[in-house]
Structure 1
Amino acid sequence: MAVINRDPMDAPHKTRTDALVAGGAGALSVVLALLTDPARSPDALGWTLLLASAVPLVWRRRNPLLVLLAMIPLLAPYHALDNAHTAPIPQTWIMLYTVAVTGRPLRTVLTGIGVLSVMLTVVLSINAHQGLELLRISGWVVAVLFCGVDMRVYRQYMASVLDRAERAERTREEEARRRVAEERLRIARDLHDLLAHSITLIGVQTSVASHILTVDPDRLDRSAIAASLEDIADTCREARAELRTTLEVLRDVRPDRGDRDEAEGPLPDLASLPALVRAAEAAGARVDLAVREPAGRLAPATGAAAYRIVQESLTNAVRHAGTGVRVRVAVAPDGGSALRVTVTDDGAGPPKHGPTPGFGIVGMRERARSTGGTLDAGPRAGGGFEVLALLPLQEKGTAP
């Protein structure tokens, strides 16, 4: 089947294979000349013409039509000398099949008409009886031509099937690469949101404890230091729990998870925003939270995106503005199809030019786009920094 499906023009070792085919056709012609019609056994010139007619088969795949035309001046004198007319059949059929299998059907039809016309003209001019006999067996010539055309059509069909299969395979590979890239991006966002928020709060709370210890060591405020250290411990526990959940999803170590892609616990949503506010206030920020949940059901992905956007905005505010920054968080429906998330502060926001630019704003925009929403972030005209996100209330394709 591999040989049949393969295009003969692209087959390896064409010349060597065709040389063997030419030798086999010449040997079979000799056998036919000796056995089929001993009364018309060729003379020396006939044997020369018969064997010479098989030689062009060596180059039959380089230019099939030209090779066929080169055989006609050899076969016409052979038949004109009234030699055994069935002897050249092997090389004739092989060459006709090659022309049919490598060319268009119109060329094949014209070639068949031309070959039959030459054969009948030459043989009828010598012996009318032999001409009628040749006319009766000319059906085999037509059958060979149609066999070549049919094989050509079959190979074209198989080539189209393989081409479609290759395109489908390439599409699957591209889809797999796209999914891997999206998953890596999602993991990067989750780890950034988790670690950046926790590390920032720990850093601020550690600075507060260090400040208390160094400013006035004689009047040590043990309760303030204890509260700061307790906040650090709480932040570490929360970060460890979220990190463990993320790693369980990535490593899939739980045998009872099956094929689920979600974490075991529920996704963070609007109800978890007060905990973020408390953590930011423990780091020294002053936060005003205003949440008005939509009347209908909120898509889990939208709630999680709103939570992460608020989390990153509070982290940036505490990191870049320091303790004492004032932050206002407002979450409310915007019309009937979107959720508006606004976070403003009176700080300077992330630096535009720095040695190590972060990925916080980029990650927030990607989170908003992953739900079908948009996000804008930048300095306010009156001072401070603002993050504004519009997120769809429902997932795509979900009825309200």
Structure 2
Amino acid sequence: MNRHLHKVGTASGVSVPSRTDTLLAVAVAVLGAAVAIAAPGTRPTDPLAIVLLLAASATLPWRRQRPGAVLLLVLVLTVPFHMLDYRHEAASPIALVALATFSASVARVKALVIGLLVVVIVLSIMGVLKEGEISGDHLGAIGWVFFSAVAGQAWRWHAAYVASIIDRAERAERTREEEARRRVAEERVRIARDLHDLLAHSITLIGVQAGVAAHLARQPEPDREVLAAALETIADGCRAARAEVRSTLTVLRDPGEGPDQGAVPGLAGVGDLAESVRGAGVDVLVDVALDADADEAAPAVGVAAYRIVQEALTNVVRHAQASRVTVDAVREGGVLRLTVADDGRGAVAGSPEPADGPGGFGILGMAERARSVGGTLTAEPGKTGGFTVRAVLPLPAPIVPAPSTSEAS
């Protein structure tokens, strides 16, 4: 309830009543005084009655900040008003407003206890005034007291209900914002991974062949065929990189197309990767023992496998100083077991650098690729030297066509 109270702080830190509560207090005071003057009770309305009414009404602006204190002050000021037998209806609204406000600020049991206490006070006053007689005025007064207490509790429940709705809406908004930030972060990581995978392989091979071409160009009588082959490899690498970047940008511009769809050949492209690495002077042996329809049955797994092989071969060319690398891919049960092993320097032999170089993201990207399809990846030095990357990627179960009716018969 307190979060819905309107408080304005002053320089001294004392709360100031709201305009609504102040206007309500003025209205109740004017109405009470008008009723008391226009239709006085058993005792004529005199200055004392007006003072008691105005004093009781003057406490109402603080009814939200101090509901208990306001109710107590109102009772202290209105009980003498009733005891002196002024017009009872003139002061009753003040007490009912104070009681309803207090009931809205406390728990149900406490509101009931206070309501019963007010009933006892009312009955005592009316018992004294009516000399112990029970009349309709008693029942009416008791009914108004309980109505005021119940109205306060109803308002408390309504305020709590509205607060819970607002709280749920705020939590839902925070959840949506967090989800949006998470998706943006994931998309940034995916784009960074894709750009790394797309460019690192081609740029590495282009760098190697450019070094070969530069070395040959410095020779007095360069081997023109080897130089031409190196330059052709550079040109092919540039065209391949441009095509892959264009495909990726097309995917990013078209939200309806999933990542890598139509941009990566899958396991069918491992042979081309091997051929490009052979041009850099590394002997590559490829053994992909899968059905021809493996990529079509699990395109996401084929894309992940292609990227893992691409990054592993890129690391071999850049860091391993290897002369030979083997690429094996075989289906065992419901998984694809992928192995890329080289005979290079690995990450041992006193070198503190990882297999993908200082500050590299290659192994991290390969692990993310494997996890994206529910698989696992390990990258570690080989037992006899070199470096080995192993990935286990789940494959969907092959679909066995149901026998036709004629075959079954």
C-alpha distance 8-77 of structure 1, shift in aligned 2 (>3 A): farther
1:53 and 1:74 in contact (8 A); partners too: yes
Partner of 2:339: 342
Determine if contact 1:317/1:325 at 8 Å carries over to the other structure.
no
Mark the CA change 1:341 to 1:152 in structure 2 (over 3 Å): closer, same or farther: same
Q: C-alpha displacement at 1:119, in angstroms?
A: 1.4
2 CA distance for matches of 1:117 and 1:181? 66
Question: Which whole-Å CA distance do the structure 2 matches of 1:292 and 1:189 have between them?
Answer: 27
**What residue identity is the alignment partner of 2:67?**
P
Alignment partner, residue 148 of structure 1: 152
Aligned to 1:362: 364
> What does 1:78-157 align with in structure 2 at a 5 Å threshold?
78-128=81-131, 132-138=135-141, 139-157=143-161
**Which residue of structure 2 aligns with residue 330 of structure 1?**
328
After superposition, the C-alpha distances for 1:175-206 in whole angstroms (9 at most, x for unaligned) are: 11111111111111111111110110001111
In the alignment, the residues of structure 1 paired with residue 3 and residue 128 of structure 2 have an alpha-carbon distance, to the nearest angstrom, of: 37
Gaps of 5+ in 2: 9-15, 401-409
- Which of 8, 14, 17 lines up with 1:15 in the alignment? 17
Q: CA deviation at 1:311?
A: 0.5
Query: Where do 1:366-385 residues align within 5 Å?
Result: 366-385=368-387
Q: Which residue of 2 aligns with 1:255?
A: none
User: What pairs with 1:59-70 in structure 2 (closer than 5 Å)?
Assistant: 59-70=62-73
Deviations 1:40-79 (A, max 9, x none): 4322322222222222223222231232122222212111
**Alignment partners' CA distance in 1, 2:360 and 2:304:** 19
- Whole-Å separation in 1 of the counterparts to 2:66 and 2:391: 68
Q: Distance in 1 between matches of 2:343 and 2:70?
A: 88
* Residues 1:190 and 2:189 aligned together: no
CA distance in 2, matches of 1:127, 1:263: 92
1:81 Cα deviation after fit: 1.0
Find the aligned partners of 1:54 and 1:352 in 2 and give their Cα distance: 83
CA distance in 2 between partners of 1:41 and 1:277 (Å) = 111
The alignment status of 1:209 with 2:213, answered yes or no, reads yes
Amino acid paired to 1:58: P
- CA-based RMSD of the aligned residues comes to 2.5
Residue 238 (1) aligns with residue 240 (2): yes
Show the counterpart of 1:163.
167
Q: Distance in 1 between matches of 2:399 and 2:125?
A: 83
Q: List gaps (5 residues or longer) in structure 1.
A: 1-5, 253-257
Report the counterpart of residue 386 of structure 1 in structure 2: 388
Q: Once the two structures are superposed, what CA deviation does each residue of 1:221-240 show, in whole Å capped at 9, x if it has no partner?
A: 21111111111111110100
What SS is found at the alignment partner of 1:53?
helix
Aligned residues: 384
Residues of 1 paired with 2:366 and 2:209: CA distance? 25
Contact 1:36 1:86 in 2 (8 A): no
Cα pair 2:6 2:18 within 8 Å, conserved: no
Pick closer, same or farther for the CA change 1:24–1:156 going to 2, 3 Å.
Answer: same
Match of residue 27 from structure 1: 30
Percent identity of paired positions between Structure 1 and Structure 2: 45
| Contact 2:320–2:346 under 8 Å retained in 1 | yes
- In 2 relative to 1, CA 80–131 (structure 1 residues): closer, same or farther, beyond 3 Å? farther
Q: Distance in 2 between matches of 1:240 and 1:137?
A: 90
- Cα pair 1:120 1:131 within 8 Å, conserved: no
How is 1:217-366 mapped onto 2 (pairs within 5 angstroms)? 217-218=220-221, 220-252=222-254, 259-262=256-259, 265=262, 267-293=264-290, 298-322=297-321, 325-333=323-331, 335-349=332-346, 352-353=352-353, 356-366=358-368
Whole-angstrom distance in 1 between the partners of 2:201 and 2:240: 11
In 1: Cα distance, 2:248 partner to 2:35 partner:
81
Indicate the structure whose relative CO is greater, using CA pairs within 8 Å and at least 6 residues apart. Answer: 1
TM-score, length-scaled by structure 2 = 0.86
